[in-house]
Each structure stands twice: as C-alpha cells, then as structure tokens.
A = this chain, B = another copy of it.
Amino acid sequence: MNNKPTIHDIAKALGIDSSTVSRALNDSARVTKATKVRVLAKAAELGYQRNMLASNLRKNITNTIGVVVPRISRHFFSSAIQGIEETAYLAGYNVIISQSLEQFEREKKLIEGLIANRVDGLLVSVSMETINYEHLEVAKNNNIPLVFFDRHCGISGYSSVLVDDFKCGFDATEHLILKGCKHIAHFSGPQQLEIYKNRFNGYKAALAIHNVTFKNEYVINSRLMEQDGYLSMQNLLNSGQKVDGIFSANDVAAIGAMKCIKERGLKIPEDIAIVGFSNEPISRVIEPSLTTIDQSGSEIGKTATELLLKYISKKEIPSEGQTIILNSKLIERHSSKK
C-alpha cells in the first residue's frame, strides 16, 4: 500500500479521462458540476492527495520560499522567521529554512541549493563574513526574487526591509550623551555589513552634533557574541581610558560587557551606562535591565515576506530595488537611568 492514488486512478475508477479529473479538482469551468461532485467523492474515498512535485514541475513553480539566516536560535531571527512563516502560510507557501552559521561558504552553498530546488523566492539576512555577492547574482540570473531583511548588502538592484540603523545608532548615542556621558565607546560588528556601518555612522554623527570628541580607540569591532562583549570591555578598561558609556550594536555583546563591568565592581549605570540593540527578551530581565533599540523581528519578517510575495506574483523582479524602513524606537530601562 505504498502507492498513493493518482488522478489516473480516480479517472479509471469513474471511467473518465484524467484531464477531466484534473480540471474537476481544480474547479475548472470546463467540467460539469455533477462530474466535479463525483470526482471529489471518489478522491475522498481513495484518500487522494495531489502530488505537488508533479504539479509544480508542470507549472514550474514550487510554492516555496527559501530563507537564509545566520542563526535560527538567535531570538531576533527566530521571531523574524515566525513572521515569515505566518505570512507565507496564509498565502499558501511553504518555507524552507537554512542557517549560514555566519559562514560565507555555507551561505553560498545554501543559496545555490535553494535555487536548485526552484524556490519561488528568497529571503536573506547575510552572514558576517559576506563580502562578495556573486552568489546573490545567481538568484537574479535565475529570475528568482530576493529580498534582504535586517542584514542587507550595499548593492543595487535588491530590495530590503530594515530599521533605520543610522537613526537608531544616532538615537542610542544621543541618549547616552543626554544622560551626561562624555566618554562613549561603541562595540560594532564587521564593517562590511551595512547595519553595523550605519549604526557606527549614527554613533559618530551624534557625537559630532553634540561636540563630543570621537576617538578611534573607543570603537571596537568584533563578532558581537557575549564573550566578545566581555573581552572588548575588558580591553577597554585595561587600556586605562576613561569610559562612562557604551553603545553596543547588539544586546548580547552588551550583556557580556555588563558582566565584565559588574565583576570589576563598577556600577551600571552610575559609572558606566549601557545601551544595546535589538530588544532581545533577555534585555528586559537582566539586572539592571538594558536600555535598547526595539526592532520587531516578526514585523520585519512579515513585511519582507509580503514584499517578496508581491514580486513573485508579478513574475518580475523590479530593476530598481526598494527599501522599506520599519519603525524602531529606543526603550529606556535601568542600564542608562541616571
């Protein structure tokens, strides 16, 4: 009983042609209502299910969108995926998820694999190692629409859904300045990523506008894992520089920094105030609670998926990529309350 019934089985059972069965199942106007009823009844009786492989092969679509994120278990990405899956489900699409684990080679292979599987569209948040974009061009050459979310690339011809990283970086830094910080360090990620570059530029702009001197030694780039934040903080304190504020380009590194600060017996926010980025759930409950920039992952995922589905239904990729900027705002908590 391994063999599932096909339209041919239904056709044979009813003594009609399989094309009629196909049309009946697709509710075509070319088939009588009476026939439709008979086909549907027989299909139910046999436990028929359309073979999507065959259907998709013929129609040259897959009803599937491919998603590539750096790491599924990072809260921001899992909530983005939540939004993607939800939106795709409502539109009748499946979602294939894959993670680059921040590795360029892996990202490349994954995207090629998804294209070979003929996904109808791609949603991508690039890895920290991604500096070369040929693998993305492949999607374009295959006429598969691709939308970036969050971690986009600074290349033209692609659409993106993001928050205004420059403004967020600016706001976060200005917030610290307004709280009285004069020596503000910035923990950033790989500078080839637009989001980190923009957050950094926002940081610089806020310093400039408020006449706070910018120092290169205050900017530390890393991969922004918890351990990186811890070490960056340690280096900073060991260097003997005066520091009274930190703007970290993500929450996880901020939490690592907090750990280091506490271990040194310094007080947050009195000695050093901190602002993170992303509003991970952990930032709400840590002591002191972490001031951060709220960016709704599920909202970003949802918007990116809607945009992608629009391109898919139009069957053409706009030559000019569009960029959608979603709202985000600073959430003030105790780590910066002075």
Taking Cβ atoms with an 8 Å cutoff, the residues of A that contact B are 1-2, 4, 47, 49-54, 56-57, 62, 64, 71-73, 75, 78-79, 81-82, 85-86, 89, 94-99, 101, 110, 112-113, 115-118, 141-143, 255, 281-282, 285-287, 297-298
A301→B92 CA distance, assembly (Å): 26
A116→B310 CA distance, assembly (Å): 25
Contact across chains for A98 and B85 when beta carbons are under 8 A apart: yes
Contact across chains for B117 and A52 when beta carbons are under 8 A apart: yes
Known pairs A50-B116, A85-B97. 15 more at Cβ < 8 A?
A1-B143, A4-B142, A51-B57, A52-B118, A53-B62, A53-B117, A75-B78, A89-B98, A89-B110, A94-B96, A94-B98, A94-B113, A95-B98, A97-B97, A286-B287
Closest 5 pairs (CB-CB, A-B):
A78-B78, A287-B287, A53-B57, A285-B286, A73-B82
Contact across chains for A78 and B85 when beta carbons are under 8 A apart: no
A-B residue pairs in contact (CB < 8 Å), sample of 28: A47-B141, A51-B118, A52-B116, A52-B117, A53-B57, A54-B57, A72-B81, A73-B78, A73-B79, A73-B81, A73-B297, A73-B298, A78-B78, A81-B97, A85-B97, A85-B98, A85-B99, A86-B99, A89-B98, A94-B96, A94-B113, A94-B117, A95-B96, A95-B97, A97-B97, A282-B285, A285-B285, A286-B287
Chain B residues with CB below 8 A from A141, complex form: 1, 47
Nearest CB in chain B: distance from A246 CB, A: 17
Out of B53, B101, B115, name the residue touching A56 (CB < 8 Å).
Answer: B53
Nearest CB in chain B: distance from A90 CB, A: 11
Report the nearest B residue to A258, measured CB to CB: B285
Number of copies: 2
Chain B residues with CB below 8 A from A79, complex form: 73
A300→B238 CA distance, assembly (Å): 41
Chain B residues with CB below 8 A from A85, complex form: 72, 97-99
A266→B330 CA distance, assembly (Å): 32
Chain B residues with CB below 8 A from A54, complex form: 57
Contact across chains for B99 and A96 when beta carbons are under 8 A apart: no
Given contact pairs A54-B57, A57-B54, A285 touches B255 in the complex (Cβ within 8 A): yes
A259→B2 CA distance, assembly (Å): 54
Chain B residues with CB below 8 A from A4, complex form: 142
Chain B residues with CB below 8 A from A89, complex form: 98, 110
Out of B57, B96, B286, B297, name the residue touching A96 (CB < 8 Å).
Answer: B96
Chain B residues with CB below 8 A from A142, complex form: 4
Report the nearest B residue to A226, measured CB to CB: B281
Nearest CB in chain B: distance from A292 CB, A: 14
Q: Which of A81, A94, A255, A286 has the most CB of B within 10 A?
A: A94
A222→B1 CA distance, assembly (Å): 42
Chain B residues with CB below 8 A from A62, complex form: 53
Out of B47, B82, B94, B297, name the residue touching A71 (CB < 8 Å).
Answer: B82
Contact across chains for B49 and A115 when beta carbons are under 8 A apart: yes
Report the nearest B residue to A52, measured CB to CB: B117
Chain B residues with CB below 8 A from A57, complex form: 51, 53-54, 57
Report the nearest B residue to A114, measured CB to CB: B94
Report the nearest B residue to A97, measured CB to CB: B97
A106→B115 CA distance, assembly (Å): 29
